[in-house]
Structure 1
């Protein structure tokens, strides 16, 4: 097992600095894109939608750093490939996996901050997840093109 992990580590991964930059830019872009949509769709003030999205972003940022690193390690081990060389189908699975797993962290936050019931919060969370999954696919594709993994 240790020998196999060593071979996976021969495939370069993003540095901690690069991972932090990737995550912060992703969340900032998501806030700029989604906050106006939430305000419009929820018929709430922009400030209220921004508070909700900042809380959700903080929860998801912590989870995304763990998820993305684990995904990259597994991909390096199994496919011996860097993240920036990820094929289309795996990019789709990566984006959807992050959004589905993020629901566990964010649904309670939506209930707490909005006063919605659990089913309504789940519907909001799913809608946000679909928007962010599409955004995540596009963002990570562009990030990988502009800042490929250096070996």
Structure 2
């Protein structure tokens, strides 16, 4: 299992790199100012950072409980990314609609775009992170 410090490093680096990529990209794609999109992205990233820690901790505990190990196979990485993004989407949809003063349907399209981007980004980032900072193997308790 990863230490708390390692989980914090992972979550913060994930969000900082994501903010630097997504703010200018989505300001351009959705025709909003950098400032307006920047506030939205930072708000979403802050919520995502907290959720990232909670979600990954719970996911790793579930893996250890079910399999005795926290290493992820390719299919498990896909499930991990999809579940993380789906739960984050549900949490952020009303906040984004309020901030942009837009309908839930309009924001759902935006959120699905964010989710698609971040799902691919999360997959690549966590795989790279696991290579750079491998999780410690866990011992099975008899």
Please indicate, yes or no, whether the TM-score normalized by the shorter chain is above 0.5: yes
> What is the TM-score when the length of structure 1 is the normalising length?
0.87
1:150 Cα deviation from its structure 2 partner: 2.8
1:100 Cα deviation from its structure 2 partner: 0.3
Where does residue 21 of structure 2 map in the other structure? 33
Aligned residues: 137
Counterpart-to-counterpart distance in 1, 2:59 and 2:29 = 33
- List structure 1 segments (4+ residues) > 4 angstroms apart after TM superposition: none
Unaligned runs of 5+ in 1: 1-12
Unaligned runs of 5+ in 2: 138-142
User: Does structure 1 residue 74 correspond to structure 2 residue 62?
Assistant: yes
Where does residue 61 of structure 1 map in the other structure? 49
Where does residue 137 of structure 1 map in the other structure? 123
Counterpart-to-counterpart distance in 1, 2:82 and 2:25 = 20
1:22 Cα deviation from its structure 2 partner: 0.4
Where does residue 132 of structure 2 map in the other structure? 146
> What is the TM-score when the length of structure 2 is the normalising length?
0.92
Q: RMSD between aligned alpha carbons?
A: 1.0
Where does residue 93 of structure 1 map in the other structure? 79
Check conservation: 1:107, 1:121, Cα contact below 8 A: yes
